[in-house]
Amino acid sequence: MAFLLVIPSIDIKNGKTVRIVQGIPELHCNEYGSDPVEMAKIWRAENSKMLHIVDFDALHGDKNKNVSLLEEICNSVIIPVEFAGGIRTLEDANKYFNLGVSRIAISTLALENLPEFKKIFDTFGPKKIVVSLDVIDNEIVIKGRKIKTGILPIAFALKLREIGVERFIVTDVKRNGMMLGPNIELSRAIADATQAKVTLSGGIRNKDELMDVQALLSVGVDSVIVGRALYENRFPCQKLWRVAELGIFN
């Protein structure tokens, strides 16, 4: 029986676990404990099946600051680690996979340098490389969510689908970290248009909203990335994953 995969997010900045509103450090940044490795172990102990790691220092140019932390996280848990953080070259991708990362999420590169993205994608394939679609007001944004592109998310997703991309992480930036509820329709629309798998990211506040997303399994929205709601104990983690694994959300 299929069930919704709930993926805790660990955002790292200056070597610490943080929660960054709308994914933009300049807006607001809360610390949630000082040790990302310990946080990874906590989520694993809570029965998480996957982790989503965002390196905000790498995203903004300092690609070496948290490398040892990321490697330690990968060595400390036996579950897959998905990583996002300023991948710009095939060499970047190789480095992170060599650290133990299981899957890489790419955003800006896919739009700004499609040939380099294709090189990475052709080397590692659709199971290892996914694309993050960061959206503000139905417009793709890049460069750490600071630059609007004027490109519609469905149009961009369809272009990447032609290349062979099989999964998109879809984030409504205005809802990310804001506890405003998920933009379910955006994820549904991209899944419908592309027939690809979609991970919904941003806005989840409670178990009821997970049940709403669970209803989209049939169209390809099969997972959610959750940050603030988990860190602030909006619902009990162990019960949450147990319910998900039994497939009894509805």
The whole-chain average pLDDT of the chain stands at 87
pTM of the model: 0.89
Residue predicted with more confidence, 245 or 234? 234
Output the pLDDT for position 246.
Answer: 52
Q: What is the CATH number of the domain that holds 170?
A: 3.20.20.70
**Residues assigned a catalytic role:** 11, 134
Q: Where is average pLDDT lowest: 7-16, 31-40, 115-124, 182-191?
A: 31-40
Which residues make Cβ contacts (< 8 Å) with residue 215, sequence separation at least 6? 250
Q: Is residue 250 part of a domain?
A: no
Q: Is residue 186 part of a domain?
A: yes
- For 130-157, letters b (16+ CB in 10 Å) and e give bbbbbbbeeebbbbbbeeebebebbebb
Residue 119: which domain range?
5-245
The answer to whether the CB of 206 falls within 8 A of the CB of 235 is: yes
pLDDT of residue 242 exceeding 60, the answer is no
How confident is the model over 60-113, as pLDDT tens digits?
777 889 999 999 999 999 999 999 998 999 999 999 999 999 999 999 999 999
- Overall number of domains in the chain: 1
The answer to whether the CB of 198 falls within 8 A of the CB of 170 is: yes
